[in-house]
Amino acid sequence: MVEDLITNVLDTWLDPAASLRLRDIAADDRITELEFQFPIAELKPASLSAILAISEVHSNSAEGLGFEPIRGLMHGFIDLVVRRAGRFYIVDYKSNRLGDRLAAYEREGLRAAIRHHRYGLQYLIYTLVLHRFLGQRLPGYDYSTHFGGVYYLFLRGMRPRLGPDCGIWYERPPWRLIAALDRLFATGQAAEGP
């Protein structure tokens, strides 16, 4: 069973063009468990919500989220970063059981899981991390040119015969949102100053 699951994950095309699957990623085109730390100037629920409102897709990602203002370091790990055709992608593995049928791992089931577990907020943070990482290391880095997007792989739903239509959530967050999050974490300001 475990062998089948791993084979399914490695052999499933992640994109409709059938140009990206994990089995084909060479060792020098991937970073496994990319650890990150970055400072947070100040983060408040209201300022985070204001930034997320920039994107209709993410406007409710902080809904109901309450916390005291935060200052300090954000620390974590990105499961996998891959490079393919000059673009960099975030890959995160999810083992959630969404149901007993493959239909539970289609777009609407994944959308519900992304919302329920706040994975959208998680991958926005991961996108910011990779944006900063590439900006420091890749000469001539440009988000629109070099950032390919985020893949959340719901392992139990992936099947090579179904390709990206089952078990795979993909998004490429808009640059405007990532730039605003970058500013928020760096300065604590939800909007640009005068």
Catalytic residues: 92
Backbone angles phi, psi at 110, to 5 degrees: -70, -40
- Of 1, 36, 13, 32, residue with least CA distance to 158: 13
Residue 48 DSSP SS3 = helix
Nearest to 111 by CA among 64, 147, 60, 174: 60
Give one DSSP letter per residue of 36-47, joined into a string: EEEEEEEE-HHH
Rounded CA-CA distance 160/174 in Å is: 29
Q: How far apart are CA 114 and CA 168, in angstroms?
A: 11
Decide: helix, strand or coil at residue 33: strand
Q: Name the 3-class secondary structure at 24.
A: helix
Local structure of residue 104 (DSSP, 8 states): G
